[in-house]
Amino acid sequence: MTAQEIQKVFFILLEYLVPTLKVFGFTLLFSIPLGMVVALLKMCKFKPVSWLTNVYILIMRGTPLMLQVIVAYYAIPMLRMNENLPGAVSGLLEKINIQGDGFMFKAVLFAFVMNYAAYFAEIFRGGIESIPKGQYEAAAALSFTKTQTFFRIVLPQVVKRVVPASSNEIITLVKDTSLANVVAYAEITLKAKQQMQNYSSLMPLFIAGGFYFVLAMILTVATSLIEKKLNYYK
């Protein structure tokens, strides 16, 4: 490839950096709070709830994210073809617009959020369970409610403890966004593959790799700064 062609490919991929960051950003926005909820449900003393939560986590962590994206994208169209569904369910599915990029993005985002929430849940659960029981007892002695104890005493310490493990997941997420191309979602990897075919060269893939490397490096620096800011919880 000539320098002009490389520059052209670079700006094409730069244009599709936005859809990549869109999947990354919305996945973090929804999966982190959902992960906390799942972690609390797993720790629930009501066995059916904790058991179902364990099954969900096992499925999400035990199957490939790529497979989950494919299922999320094709599930609704295939269910709409099923004539044995109840009328209410069938009517609800018919109202969902499965045409265009909007549905594709929602399907991809759903798969990513459900997958990463399971991983964050295990990280958060480990952080919560690492807090000594004496702190709960001390809070109770000071007449703190369970809610006050969790949000004012436990949660700030948990945040500090889970930052290193969470940063690894966040960096992995920015690379996993490339899996969205399996359903032809227009992001960097899909466009790099198309440009590779157009120019019969691997250079577009190297350029795409450079984008992911820079994003991972920025996230590494950002999470390191956050970890240092939270050092006062030592």
Q: Which of 19, 12, 7, 16 is nearest to 195 (CA)?
A: 12
Q: What ranges make up the beta strands (E) of 50-195? A: none
C-alpha–C-alpha distance, residues 13 and 199, integer Å: 14
Count the neighbouring beta carbons within 10 Å of the beta carbon of residue 53.
21
Could you report the per-residue pLDDT of 1-14, keeping only the tens digit for each? 777 888 888 888 88
Q: What does the pLDDT look like over 166-195, one tens digit per residue?
A: 888 999 999 999 999 898 888 899 888 888
Q: What is the pLDDT of residue 67?
A: 93
This prediction's pTM? 0.86
- Give tens-digit pLDDT for 131-177: 777 777 777 777 777 777 877 777 777 778 888 888 889 999 999 99
Percentage of the chain exceeding pLDDT 90: 35
DSSP string, 62-78: HS-HHHHHHHHHHHHHH
Q: Where are the beta strands (DSSP E) in the chain?
A: none
Q: How far is CA 1 from the centre of its chain?
A: 35
User: Is the pLDDT confidence value at 84 over 70?
Assistant: no
Higher pLDDT among residues 77 and 92, named by residue: 77
Identify whether the C-beta of residue 85 lies closer than 8 Å to the C-beta of residue 131: no
Within 10 angstroms of residue 208's Cβ, the number of other Cβ atoms is 26
* Tens-place pLDDT, residues 107-136: 899 999 999 999 999 998 888 888 777 777
Amino acid at 2: T
Single out the residue of 131, 169, 168, 170 nearest to residue 153, CA to CA: 131
